[in-house]
Amino acid sequence: MKIKGKIAAWFWLILIGGNILVIYGFFEEELTRGDAGGLLITLFLLDIICLPLVIKNYVEIDGDKLTLVLGFGRDSIRIEDITEVYRTHNPIAGGALSLDRVVIKGKRQEMMISVCDKEKLFRELKRMNPRIQIRR
């Protein structure tokens, strides 16, 4: 089962706004060859970092494990090792493109994710491991 990752408006603004600003720079009248090269590198780096995050952003429950996929990154935790899940808006860290996040605590690890359908994720995890504590 896959649950789509959530992408906040601020992330779209960074991605689209950054691309628009860089492309606008190409229309500068006094653009030198070095400036054009710098703009191309900026455009390439912005898109090589941000586009994979938008394209591959989901949580997958497969068998006995939960896998978070975000861009080129992938992190897994066994469902039987999950002890607690809860909502948070913690901006400090986490693999999430939105501040509307879910913390998944395990025996030895903790993951922070953002999904569109949190209730579906909670229900499925609780079904697979009734010992999981869900804080709302």
Q: Name the strand (E) or helix (H) holding 10.
A: helix 9-25
> Looking at residue 93, what is its pLDDT?
65
> Looking at residue 60, what is its pLDDT?
96
> Looking at residue 94, what is its pLDDT?
67
Radius of gyration of the chain (CA): 19
CB 35 within 8 A of CB 22: no
Please give the chain's pLDDT, 136 residues, in tens. Answer: 999 999 999 999 999 999 999 999 888 878 787 888 899 999 999 999 999 999 999 999 999 999 999 999 999 999 999 999 999 888 776 668 888 999 999 999 999 999 999 999 999 999 999 999 998 7
What whole-number distance in Å separates Cα of residue 103 and Cα of residue 114? 9
CB 59 within 8 A of CB 75: no
Please report, to the nearest 10 degrees, the dihedral formed by the alpha carbons of residues 22, 23, 25, 28 taken in order: 180
pTM for the predicted model, two decimal places: 0.84
> Looking at residue 124, what is its pLDDT?
94
Place of tokens 């992190």: 75
> Looking at residue 42, what is its pLDDT?
93
> Looking at residue 30, what is its pLDDT?
80
Six-digit token pair at 101? 């996040």
> Looking at residue 1, what is its pLDDT?
92
> Looking at residue 31, what is its pLDDT?
79
